Homo-oligomer: A and B are copies of this chain.
Amino acid sequence: MTKRIKLVIEYDGTQYAGWQVQPNAVTVQETIEGALKMLTRADIRIHGAGRTDAGVHALRQTAHFDTDASIPPENFAAALNTQLPPDIRIRSSEEVADTFHARFSAKGKTYQYAIYNFPVASAVKRLNTCHVREPLDVSAMQATARRFIGTHDFSAFCASNTDVEDKVRNVTRAEITADLPEILFTVSGNGFLYNMVRIMAGTLIEAGRHKISPEQTGEILAGKDRTKAPYTAPAHGLTLVSVLYDGVNGNAQ
């Protein structure tokens, strides 16, 4: 009998060309699909909640797949981990209803963007933080982050090569916390456009440099013009923290 299995996945994105399968590049999705094939001898397609870019990390990415294999659902995590490289770990596996879909059932996501604000980059944290040399004004970043909260058309904060029609999203949390030299941007919402968090992070860095004010950020948001928003911050500072679902079988872990 076919079962639907939900996976919660942590990965260090440094060595991968992102989540999604693509030609001539090693991705997280295909690496997990390869491990599933080793276990089940079947070609199984997994569906992730979000397609993280090359270099982006995840603490609790979520995915689902269907299988006829007789492996107990909870055992997929440990069994897959024996086949996976140490920079990808399955935190848990469980059976879910066949109506559950990792992407379409998701009610929200949380991301973090980490900045290392010091004259010299960090050796130890170089693969998980974006290095900014000049001192940033944390208060200005906090005031600017608050502008993102609420329901907005985020067209100005979306990569131009996207084909999504509806660019209205609801951001429920957009917070800057500092434990200097580290500055962390945490953002939660019902959905995110392509590159949205990295363009927000680029805007916040410019706000910290006093190159853009909270008011100007509000105007850029209202103007819906991508060419007006600052640069896209580099991928390696970004981590997908968690994906939120309704119901018992869809609990965020």
Contacts and interface: CB of A to CB of B under 8 A. Distances in A.
Interface of A: 10-12, 57, 59, 77, 81, 86-92, 120-124, 126, 128, 239
B12 A124 contact: yes
A163 B22 CA distance: 56
20 contacts: A10-B120, A10-B122, A10-B123, A11-B123, A11-B124, A12-B123, A12-B124, A12-B126, A57-B124, A59-B124, A77-B120, A81-B120, A86-B123, A86-B126, A87-B123, A87-B126, A88-B123, A89-B122, A89-B123, A124-B128
A77 B239 CA distance: 30
As for how many copies of this chain the complex holds, the number is 2
A88 to B, nearest CB: 6
Contacts of A121: 86, 89
A167 to B, nearest CB: 30
Contacts of A77: 120
Identify whether the interface residues of A are mostly helix, strand, loop, or mixed. Answer: mixed
A59 B116 CA distance: 14
Contact of A120 (B89, B120, B122, B126): B89
A12 B239 CA distance: 20
Nearest to A77: B120
Given A10-B123, A89-B120, 8 more contacts: A10-B120, A10-B122, A11-B123, A59-B124, A87-B123, A87-B126, A90-B120, A91-B120
Contacts of A87: 123, 126
A10 B124 contact: yes
A76 to B, nearest CB: 12
A123 B120 CA distance: 26
A54 B211 CA distance: 44
A122 B81 CA distance: 11
A72 B88 CA distance: 45
A57 B125 CA distance: 11
Contacts of A81: 120
Contacts of A57: 124
Contacts of A11: 123-124
Contacts of A10: 120, 122-124
Contacts of A123: 10-12, 86-89
A108 to B, nearest CB: 22
A124 B14 CA distance: 10
